[in-house]
Amino acid sequence: MSRKVKIAIIGCGGIANGKHMPSLSKLKNVELVAFCDVLLERAKKAATEYGIESAKVYERYNELLEDKTIEVVHVLTPNDTHAEISIAALHSGKHVMCEKPMAKSSKEARLMVEAANQSGKKLTIGYNNRFRPDSQHLKKICEHGDLGEVYFAKAHAIRRRAVPTWGVFLDEEKQGGGPLIDIGTHALDLTLWTMNNYKPKTVIGSSYHKLSQKKDAANAWGPWDTEKFTVEDSAFGFIKMENGATIVLEASWALNSLEVDEAKCSLSGTEGGADMKDGLRINGENFGKLYTTNVDLGGDGVAFYDGKTESDADLEARLWIDTILNDTEPIVKPEQAYVVTQIIEAIYESAKTGQAVHFEEQPVFSAPEL
């Protein structure tokens, strides 16, 4: 009988309840043994719903990290504490799954990578959209070379009116930004990963606080408080890579647009193209004729069979635990997430200064082999 991995949850809010704890609780080789939250009642509730009978609860994460029996920690707190808690957990001898974005700044993200290397523990970031069926298939297509050299891409994270009005989402100090760092980070990770290109050269960015100042605005989660809306409502980046490839990143929580796509990418290569606009579509040319192929990703649409037997969150959790049990590399490598953080930070900096941001030197961590 295989051993069970003992896991602690730090931060028992929305993402913990909506993603991590439900997925982990489905795994037979996992025990949720400790829960920590600044609101103790929230930790107690999580322990009751998902923990083993002897699960412990904490208000302070440092006390939780003293428990030597805990093998893995999931850091699911506001963005401004990701680095602090992850670094402490790694140095205490725990493997760490940190929810996206990796950190508020590239400096913090780099310190996280260094802590993982120094401690010899595994670190991964919660980019669960890589584990969707369309993402997985597109990655295989790119690896096989079907698109040729991908030299232009778009990273899509556009909402028309879906501003999260709860928690600290609108707080720039705690989050580091708005839709760019929240959902733009997913689209950018997906794009860099499918392209296998982690060497940015120049970044130009714009961010806007336009619709955020409209009172009683239509919104999926109700009107927002304009005084508390301190982050951007939309942001856009133009990214030139070292090899000449171009990436356009678009992110919004509120934008007057009917072109709505989130956590998707479009790729254009020398041999073909792909997009996730309407399912996964591949386009190209054969025998002097253009073609478009809609990829059948499973049994969706068949009344008695659902091809999506495992959600992206469930697959992410299972494969993460497999890396612990088998001592293998995580799918989402911290060096990759570090470059995502670098680029997002550069877009914010460019938007603030009005100047392009140049990566004079190679990013500290070279593009990892996938």
Q: Categorize the per-residue pLDDT at 137 as very low, low, confident or very high, splitting at 50, 70 and 90.
A: very high
Rounded average pLDDT over 246-252: 98
In this prediction, what percent of the chain has a pLDDT beyond 90? 92
Domain boundaries, the chain: 5-129, 133-306+334-358
pLDDT at 98 over 80: yes
Residue 319 has what pLDDT?
Answer: 97
What's the whole-model pTM score?
0.93
Q: Categorize the per-residue pLDDT at 298 as very low, low, confident or very high, splitting at 50, 70 and 90.
A: confident
Give the least confident one: 14-28, 75-89, 254-268, 303-317. Answer: 303-317
107-124 per-position pLDDT tens digit: 999 999 999 999 999 999
For 186, phi and psi rounded to 5 degrees?
A: -65, -50
What is the chain's mean pLDDT, rounded?
Answer: 94
Q: Categorize the per-residue pLDDT at 370 as very low, low, confident or very high, splitting at 50, 70 and 90.
A: very low
The residue with greater pLDDT, 305 or 332, is 332
* Superfamily designation of domain 133-306+334-358: Dihydrodipicolinate Reductase; domain 2 (3.30.360.10)
Residue 278 has what pLDDT?
Answer: 87
CATH of 5-129, one of 3.30.70.100, 3.60.70.12, 3.40.50.720, 3.40.50.740: 3.40.50.720
Question: Which among 67, 66, 105, 59 is positioned nearest to 84, based on CA atoms?
Answer: 105
Residue 299 has what pLDDT?
Answer: 58
Q: For residue 170, what are its two tokens?
A: 């609108």
Residue 310 has what pLDDT?
Answer: 81
Q: 5-10 and 123-126: which strand pairing? A: unpaired
Residue 360 has what pLDDT?
Answer: 76
Q: Are 267 and 141 in contact (CB under 8 A)?
A: no
pLDDT at 308 over 90: no
pLDDT at 362 over 90: no
pLDDT at 363 over 70: no
Question: Which among 186, 29, 8 is positioned nearest to 95, based on CA atoms?
Answer: 8
193-225 per-position pLDDT tens digit: 999 999 999 999 999 999 999 999 999 999 999
Rounded average pLDDT over 66-93: 97
Q: Are 162 and 224 in contact (CB under 8 A)?
A: no
Q: Categorize the per-residue pLDDT at 300 as very low, low, confident or very high, splitting at 50, 70 and 90.
A: low
